[in-house]
């Protein structure tokens, strides 16, 4: 299938990302796999190619203006869903070590198919809940960055994500819409979990009026052993 790639290349240029033909091909194959699988399971409500380019691909890659991703670092993508932001980050920055985590096994099976088809290395997809995996030594405080586009309140999301981040690392939350009140309400949770906000970056996706926010939370202290609490508790009873 022939795709109109001008918008994609424009967005990449604004992010200072240069892709090879093979990498562009990987993005197109990923799109085709996403749309095909979406016919039989709910992966995304966004299906038009240009919308996926803007709202999934470029959005996922947007942290590169603030974080040096051209290095061999450990990134955890929590609540990855259909593979965002982890798969686009891996395609564009092959040196990254990435772990994708999602609580729905059907999504993980799809992502394993994507990883295999695109022949991606140093990336794994893991089925599990954050509350349980964050207590396992191979995951707890092992990552330079934890990223998440998951739709959850920042207070709950902090309890899911910060325990995975090593001291000195960063939890980066992708958000859309108005977030000031949410950030204010989450500050206690961040502090209890060992983190604090170092930057809030508000911007529009290139060539659009779609507003986005990246919240950068630095892990300054180790997370107390009692966190995260048992499954379901962070969502039902956030720290505040």
- The DSSP line for 67-118 is S--SS--EEEEET-TTTTTHHHHHHH-TT-EEEEEES-HHHHHHHHHHHHHH
pLDDT of residue 13: 97
This model's pTM is above 0.85: yes
Model pLDDT, residue 50: 96
Which residue positions in the chain have pLDDT lower than 70?
none
CB-hemisphere CA count at 13 Å for 157?
26
pLDDT at res. 165: 98
CA dihedral of residues 202, 4, 94, 213 (deg, nearest 10) = 10
Q: What's CA 176's distance to the chain center, in Å?
A: 13
Cα of 30 vs its chain's centroid, Å: 16
Can you tell me the distance from the alpha carbon of 10 to that of 58, in angstroms, rounded to the nearest whole number? 10
What's residue 67's pLDDT? 96
Q: Give residue 205's region: left, alpha or beta (phi > 0; psi -120 to 50).
A: beta
How far apart are the C-alpha atoms of 103 and 6, rounded to whole Å? Answer: 35
pLDDT for 177:
85
**Count of all residues that appear for the chain in the document:** 240
Residue-level pLDDT at 2: 84
């Amino acid at each position: 299938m022939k795709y109109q790639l001008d918008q994609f290349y424009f967005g990449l240029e604004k992010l200072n990302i240069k892709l090879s033909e093979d990498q562009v091909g990987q993005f197109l194959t990923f799109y085709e796999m996403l749309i095909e699988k979406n016919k039989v399971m709910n992966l995304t409500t966004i299906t038009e190619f240009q919308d996926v380019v803007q709202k999934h691909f470029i959005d996922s890659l947007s942290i590169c203006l603030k974080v040096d991703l051209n290095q061999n670092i450990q990134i955890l993508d929590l609540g990855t869903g259909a593979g965002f932001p982890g798969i686009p980050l891996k395609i564009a920055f092959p040196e990254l070590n990435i772990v994708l985590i999602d609580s729905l096994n059907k999504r993980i099976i799809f992502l394993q198919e994507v990883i295999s088809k695109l022949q991606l290395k140093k990336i794994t997809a893991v089925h599990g809940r954050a509350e349980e995996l964050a207590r396992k030594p191979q995951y707890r405080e092992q990552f330079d960055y934890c990223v998440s586009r998951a739709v959850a309140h920042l207070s709950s999301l902090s309890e899911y994500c910060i325990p995975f981040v090593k001291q000195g690392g960063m939890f980066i939350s992708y958000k859309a819409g108005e977030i000031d009140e949410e950030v204010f309400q989450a500050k206690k949770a961040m502090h209890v979990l060992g983190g604090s906000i170092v930057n809030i970056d508000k911007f529009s996706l290139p060539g659009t009026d779609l507003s986005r926010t990246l919240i950068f939370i630095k892990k300054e202290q180790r997370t107390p052993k009692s966190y995260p609490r048992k499954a379901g508790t962070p969502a039902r009873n956030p720290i505040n």
